Amino acid sequence: MTREAAPYLRAVGAPLLVLGEGGVVRLANDALARLAGRPAGQLEGRPFADLGLVSSDVARDVVERHARGEGGEVDCVLRLPDRHVTAIRLAQSPVGDGASVVLLSDLTLVTRLAEQEKLAAMGTLVAGVAHEVRTPLAYMANNLHLLRHRVDEAVERGEGASAMAAEVVALVHEAMQGIDRINRLVVELRRFTRPGRNVRRVLSLHRAVEPAVALFEATSRGRATLRASLEPTAHVEVDESQVQQVVLNLLDNAADAAPGGVVTVDTRDGRDGPELRVTDEGAGIPLEALPHIFDALYTTKPHGTGLGLTIVDRIARDHGARVLVDTSPGKGTTFRVVFPRAQ
């Protein structure tokens, strides 16, 4: 840490300190001094372990990481001068010249903000689910009401079963479609909220992709003509079942975008890492829809759940991967999932 950096560190709004040789506090900023209830001069020049801000075990770990030139985080309790305690997170990072910066974050605030964000997201999700379930339930109830009315009419008139068979079949078929739509939504919600165990292996990306491509080809029933070019790639560290979920969701989207058309899936080594690519020859994604395609329950398909791409994005981020979209009106869309190379 240079002398020039000291004024800027002192002015930082979050509480922080800088450790020097032997774990001695070289700098304590104004925010930390206010939090500790002591002037910065009473904190500087003393070993961190002697300040009594945290437990001796936590202080020892911080000093030992500093001695090894390592960074890290630890959640602990900050002891305040009025004998109150508060939950904090110590984030430690070496900055060169034998110094480490230790930043203190109030976990009660972090937790509260995280809970508010989670509640807001859950509210959006629940509202969307209610809307998606209400529509098929409405026409299922309507169809069943019409069916009962039609059967009562037939009984009163003494009609035979054959006279109303076609109408009954049509009404039941529509009701079954509604049940299937609700079932798909429930399945996707389970995948979204419970992504499953994360068991990772190191392998070429194409090895993880192959089973999903074979499964889609066997079950797509002519929805699309599938062309696959699965080249070996540099190794990635992935959960194979989750990568296969990504492949199936992207292929399913592509087939919906270009019914009966050609869908291409390939793996390759890109400049930034191994890539999975899925391309369709559909109409492309409307410009106004692009910012929302990964939002939960957002869909442009009449019977879509709006969770397929949300799950793709979540799994990709869990693997440190990026999802990139290239779309052109009338020319189709390519989804690229770029994975980091395995260390």
Kindly report the average pLDDT of the chain as a whole number. 77
Tens-digit pLDDT profile for residues 200-243: 889 999 998 988 888 777 666 677 888 999 999 999 999 888 88
Q: Is 56 exposed, middle or buried (0-12, 13-18, 19+ CB in 10 A)?
A: exposed
* Residue 16: φ, ψ to 5°: -150, 160
Token pair listed for 248:
């199936």
First to last CA, the chain: 30
Q: What's the pLDDT score for residue 118? A: 52
How far apart CA 44 and CA 26 sit, in angstroms, is: 6
* pLDDT, tens digit, 9 for 90 and up, residues 232-252: 999 999 988 888 889 988 998
- Is residue 112 scored above 70 in pLDDT? no
Question: What confidence category does residue 192 fall into, taking pLDDT thresholds of 50, 70 and 90?
Answer: very low
With 0-12 / 13-18 / 19 or more C-beta atoms within 10 angstroms meaning exposed / middle / buried, residue 114 is exposed
Computed over its alpha carbons, how large is the radius of gyration of the chain?
Answer: 29
- pLDDT per residue as tens digits for the range 318-329: 888 999 988 888
Cα 259 from Cα 280, distance rounded (Å): 10
Tell me how many degrees the CA angle 181-182-188 measures, rounded to the nearest 5. Answer: 90
Q: Which amino acid is at 146?
A: L
State whether residue 126 is helix, strand or coil: helix
> Given this model, what pLDDT does residue 342 score?
87
**Could you give the domains of the chain?**
3-106 (3.30.450.20), 110-193 (1.10.287), 201-338 (3.30.565.10)
